[in-house]
Structure 1
């Protein structure tokens, strides 16, 4: 059983905001209506605004002015969802930390299914596992393909239907906050940290209102960032491809030499040679460009700039 010297176990909730603060009021009403176990005390709901502008800031300030438990961090620019969540982890003070989105696709009430497992003390991370997605068919397919690709390229084995909602122990969050890399892929880092974890089925529902700003372009960019920041597998593939092309070229050269020695009559085929040169040049440019992305990440780490910059806070 989770134990502490205090009478209550403090629970913090971290929620990133990017152009969806209009959902915050309804989200807070749902959270505050939850019948938490008597051992749990919800001490804060921390909204992290990921540089999405004054509208989001004003909306969250309005909600926070009515409840001291509601807190806000506004970042100076858009750093990305994973860094915004990392900023929340750095500021929360609870014994247990729950991460959930404001759109309520993973309904706040589903958190009640996860609490008994984290309170047992057997697990440091309890993930929600979506039983059935309520997104449109295209988004479901793209999401599954996205997760499969990330698992393959990052060497992870994360369930394809894992939810955003999860509850973590204080020692897990403390360990996460010690990580120093600037490029963040949350699922990969959480998996790398180890600790005991469990996946619990939860319900999934349609978005409360509006349209997600997390479109296909943003997902593709995040996939690229995640792959480069957490895996060197693409570099290994580039090396293998280069080796295959080198062997192919060597075999072709030997074939031409043998044909010439034995006076085999053949047509040089300048057009095909030019086509092959153009193709291989294109491949080289792509591979060099891809490798350069990794060099850029090295530069980013060496510069050692802060992971995020806080512009403004409320109730902190």
Structure 2
């Protein structure tokens, strides 16, 4: 039986394939002999798959190479890798090597001690441009405050878990969700391993602003009651405002300051009810859309090919 599996999603990482395999080759010497690396090429438009298919038979360690039929996203690729991995313990890392590969050794040691079921990387510093670093801190600060309070300040980009935790994550076959939030939702015993994020040497990150916003919205609607809480607060504030303005309108009417009977209260009622209705429809629509997506029963990903060496 495989002792440890390393899952690596690959998308637009052609230039990193060589350094990645070299780093893994040096790494497996510190891991059990029964270690495998599972690569999942997530519909990458470059030649990442071709380079991996050429290099892995001579890599010197056990590997699997899977390819999605199109780009389904990094979370779907990780989920595919978790399902394919055969290890008792599993580590997940990025192909760009910004998170040190040595974290896999730390994850394995923590998990093999049987004291924890989940090990996550806690970023203590990052060698990124100032603007990128500042925007990331702001993003994760809001994420922690609004969605997952237990998450490390810099978020989670790399983690390890036991086979039991991986099976639970694979069983949560949800579309438009967050795998990281699911990792915290399932619970189990967790440990944080500190590390310093390194500067990306090759290529550009695919973590765009649009993807970041989608990730945030998926997490909000899937794991919090924040939109409903905002709706409730808005309704309460609107109610107070309407009551106060209603009292003023009534006072003005009694004193003869308003000459058009019924005009002001009718307009206020129309405006407030319209605002509340539109806000409610928008928020409820977001939930209904996600329910609709999950009831379709479509797979989150489709494996187009599977190879082993």
TM range (shorter): 0.7 to 0.9
Check the 8 A contact 2:121/2:158 in 1, yes or no: yes
Partner of 1:62: 54
Check the 8 A contact 1:64/1:315 in 2, yes or no: no
- Structure 2, unmatched stretches of 5+, are none
Partner of 1:14: 7
Residue 44 of structure 1 pairs with residue 36 of structure 2: yes
Partner of 1:3: none
Partner of 1:188: 181
Q: What is the rounded CA distance, in whole Å, between the counterparts of 2:51 and 2:28 in structure 1?
A: 26
Q: What is the rounded CA distance, in whole Å, between the counterparts of 2:269 and 2:140 in structure 1?
A: 35
More moved, 88-97 vs 108-117:
108-117
Q: TM-score, normalised by structure 2?
A: 0.87
Partner of 1:89: 82
Check the 8 A contact 1:106/1:165 in 2, yes or no: yes
Q: Structure 1's 279 and 214: CA in aligned 2 closer, same or farther, altered over 3 A?
A: farther
Among 238, 259, 264, the residue aligned to 2:257: 264
Q: TM-score, normalised by structure 1?
A: 0.85
How far 1:277 sits from its partner (Å)?
7.5
Check the 8 A contact 2:17/2:48 in 1, yes or no: no
RMSD between aligned alpha carbons?
Answer: 2.8
Residue 32 of structure 1 pairs with residue 19 of structure 2: no
Q: Structure 1's 234 and 153: CA in aligned 2 closer, same or farther, altered over 3 A?
A: farther
Residue 100 of structure 1 pairs with residue 93 of structure 2: yes
- Structure 1, unmatched stretches of 5+, are 1-5
Q: Structure 1's 121 and 209: CA in aligned 2 closer, same or farther, altered over 3 A?
A: same
SS in 1 for 2:256: coil
How far 1:256 sits from its partner (Å)?
0.6
Q: What is the rounded CA distance, in whole Å, between the counterparts of 2:134 and 2:259 in structure 1?
A: 50
SS in 2 for 1:183: coil
Q: Which runs of 4+ in 1 moved over 6 A?
A: 265-268, 273-280
Q: What is the rounded CA distance, in whole Å, between the counterparts of 2:111 and 2:41 in structure 1?
A: 27
Check the 8 A contact 2:238/2:272 in 1, yes or no: no
Q: What is the rounded CA distance, in whole Å, between the counterparts of 1:283 and 1:50 in structure 2?
A: 42
Residue 73 of structure 1 pairs with residue 66 of structure 2: yes
Check the 8 A contact 1:156/1:188 in 2, yes or no: no
Q: What is the rounded CA distance, in whole Å, between the counterparts of 1:191 and 1:279 in structure 2?
A: 39
Q: What is the rounded CA distance, in whole Å, between the counterparts of 1:34 and 1:232 in structure 2?
A: 42
Partner of 1:120: 113
How far 1:194 sits from its partner (Å)?
1.1
Q: Structure 1's 53 and 127: CA in aligned 2 closer, same or farther, altered over 3 A?
A: same
Q: What is the rounded CA distance, in whole Å, between the counterparts of 2:82 and 2:294 in structure 1?
A: 21
Q: Structure 1's 276 and 132: CA in aligned 2 closer, same or farther, altered over 3 A?
A: farther
Check the 8 A contact 2:15/2:203 in 1, yes or no: no
Partner of 1:131: 124
SS in 2 for 1:108: coil
How far 1:199 sits from its partner (Å)?
0.7
How far 1:182 sits from its partner (Å)?
2.3
CA distances 1:235-285 after superposition (whole Å, capped 9, x unpaired)? 2211221232133223312321221112236999x9xx9999889856754
Aligned length: 305
